[in-house]
Structure formats: structure tokens, C-alpha cells
Amino acid sequence: MLSLILPTYNEAENIPDLLPKIRSVLKGIPHEVIIVDDDSPDGTWRIAQQIAHDLGDVHVIRRIGRRGLSSAVIEGFLSAKGDVLAVMDADGQHDVALLTTLHAAVAEHGGIAIGSRYVSGGSVGEWDERRYMLSRIATRMALALCAVKAKDPMSGFFAVDRTSFEEVLPRLNPKGFKILLDLLVHMPKTTPVTESPFIFATRRHGESKLSRRVQLEFLEYLYDVSFGNWIPLTFVKYCIVGGFGVGVHLTSYKLLSIFFAHGLPLTETGFSLALLGAIETAIIFNFWLNNLWTFAHAKLQGMGMVKGFLKYNLACGFGALANYAVSTYLYSYGLGEITSVIVGACAGIVWNYTMSRAFAWKNA
């Protein structure tokens, strides 16, 4: 049996056209179609449910509070009944007719069968030169990490046998939108791979999901599978945010020190007040950016964000004390004020990260 997963987000206009084509192509193959929708604002899940109501081979999963193509595909695979698991885009860019070829390849050889744009006969279609170049660069970067080699490791159109998927499942890192890459990185080198050409078509309706955020998530994934076991990606991102926070901290301090000095030499009291104001400003900035980026997968919203901010302030309180103590100690012993502020700001980063994971974003 073939289980085809369609991960969707804002594909309400495409689903009604795509499903009849899929069912027509697969009419001779026992199959099911599982639409996994990330609670699309355009109501894709609702349209899909209406269509599936009268079709026994179409099922819909509406995900609330979860987002991401790779995780959607994995959730679809885990709910599937078939011994061959396939995935394709729902925007009309993948050649539906190739499904039977991919199914036959996996049924006969096992492993993975890929709809490839980069083997003979395949094409990226109407992509402009810039997108094609970026794709080729990303492909080369990805191949360097793959245990199983393929011409198109970032294709979103492939099939895999259930046994291979279940064996590698505990090692998967479903970040971003390239689930095939994750499989090729973690599968044994001996896994059979079949690639069949297809021409990447033009999207029928809606907008491309290839945003800057998606591109950033790809780079994050490459880091995670390369160095993440030694230095966690979240810590690296936290330190990057902390670096920006130092800049905010320093800028706030300079502005506040000018305010408290009143045109005179800065007193120790003025220094302390300016420093405390700068510390809180940096805490607010760091919380905002960490919530938006570092811990985006556990992003706090609404009252949860308010509570998280209070916990973050509390968690950073000890780091702020270390910051304050180091800065004032160094300044009182004659070290330059800017150097004192920078050293103090850096002193609490590891503590703040540990406490943030324990309290503010404990589910991250």
C-alpha cells in the first residue's frame, strides 16, 4: 500500500485540483492520501475535510500550534498505514504521473526513490539564474553531510519504504523544510537510492514558501547536524543574541550616562543608575529576540509571553548581579568605563542561558 503525504499551508486553491489527479494516477495501486495542514489561515484544512468527507482514501490532519514541513511529513508518515511512504508538494509543481514510478522503485528495491530535478531529463523549469545558483550551492553543501548520496538531496518529491524510515526515525532532526536531506544524512550508506527525472513546474496558485526564514533554517540545520552534538545550536543562537544585546547594553549605557551626568563628570551613583538601566534594556531586548529566534520552536505568546518575561527577568537577575558586580568592581579599580561595562555584560551569558532554558523556555 502507498501512503502519500501532502504537507500544506495556504493551499486551499490547489487542493481541489490536485486530489482528483492523484486519485486518477493511483487508481490501480492500493493507496491513501494524508493531508497534513499547519492550520492554514486560508482554511486549507477545511477544504480538504470537505473533499475527504466522501472519499475513503483521503484523510486530513489539522495541526494546531505546530509548524514546519519536515515535522508535518514525519507526523503524516507516523499516521500512515502503507509500507511505502511518499511525499509531494500540494502546489502543482511536482509531476503527479511520477508517483507510480517512485512507488514501483521502492516496492522493488526498498530504500528511497527520488523525483529529481538534477538527473538527465530533469529540470528546474522556469527558475531564474539566481535561484538556480543558490539551489546548486545549497545542494553541494548538503551533499557534504549526506551518508547516502543523491543528485537532488533537497527534493521535496520522494518515496521511502516504511522499514527504512522507522529505523532512522529516532535520529531525525526535523528542522526546516528538507525532510529528504535529513533522511539521507542519517540513513546507512548502503541504502538503495533510485532517482527519476521530472521537470519542476510553475506553482498554480498561492505564494512560494521559500522565504528568508526557510533559508536560515536550512543553514541552522547544516550546523545542527555538523556541530550540534558538541555545541548546541540554541546556545550559539543565544550567544549571537547576547552579542547584539551587548551592543544594546552599551548604547543604552552611553545614552543614560549622558542623561545622569548632566554635562558634568559621571559620579559612581550616576554610573550605577546608568548601568542598571542599560542592564534592564538589554534584558528586554534579549528576551524579545530569543523568543522570536533562539527559541522560536517554543515561542511564547499572549499571557505565556508575559509570564515567560517575568521568569526571564528573574532568571537573569543573578546574571545581572554578576554583570553589575564585575562592572562596578573593575570601574572602581580604575579600568575604563566602556571596558568595565563590556566585561560585565559578557560575564552572565552562560548563567542566563542555563536559567532561561530551565525557567522561561523550559519546553525548548
Could you state, in order of their start, the residue ranges of all structural domains in the chain? 2-227, 233-360
Confidence (pLDDT) at 84: 97
Confidence (pLDDT) at 92: 84
Alpha-carbon distances of 97 from 115, 157, 199, 348, rounded to whole Å: 11, 12, 12, 58
Q: What is the pTM of this model?
A: 0.72
CA-based nearest residue to 83, from 30, 40, 127, 10: 30
Confidence (pLDDT) at 204: 65
115 contacts 198 by C-beta, under 8 angstroms: yes
Confidence (pLDDT) at 328: 83
Q: Are strands 84-87 and 2-8 parallel, antiparallel or unpaired?
A: parallel
Any bridge partners for residue 114, and if so which? 158, 195
Confidence (pLDDT) at 213: 66
Confidence (pLDDT) at 327: 81
Cell of 261: 551626568
Sequence-ordered list of residues with C-beta below 8 angstroms from that of 186, at least 6 positions apart, any chain: 147, 168, 171, 172
Confidence (pLDDT) at 273: 86
CA-based nearest residue to 297, from 211, 219, 215, 357: 357
Looking at the domain covering 2-227, what would its CATH class be?
alpha beta
Confidence (pLDDT) at 72: 92
**End-to-end C-alpha distance for the chain, whole angstroms:** 37
Number of other residues whose CB lies within 10 A of the CB of residue 98: 19
CA-based nearest residue to 99, from 117, 81, 86: 86
Tens place of pLDDT per residue across the chain (364 aa): 999 999 999 999 999 999 999 999 999 899 999 999 999 999 999 999 999 988 888 999 999 978 788 889 999 999 999 999 999 998 888 999 999 999 999 999 999 999 999 889 888 776 767 777 777 777 888 888 888 999 999 898 999 999 999 999 998 877 766 889 899 999 999 999 999 999 887 766 656 555 566 667 777 777 777 776 777 778 888 888 888 888 898 899 888 888 887 766 667 788 888 888 888 898 899 899 988 888 877 788 888 888 888 888 887 777 777 777 888 888 887 788 778 877 777 776 776 777 777 767 766 6
Confidence (pLDDT) at 93: 86
176 contacts 221 by C-beta, under 8 angstroms: yes
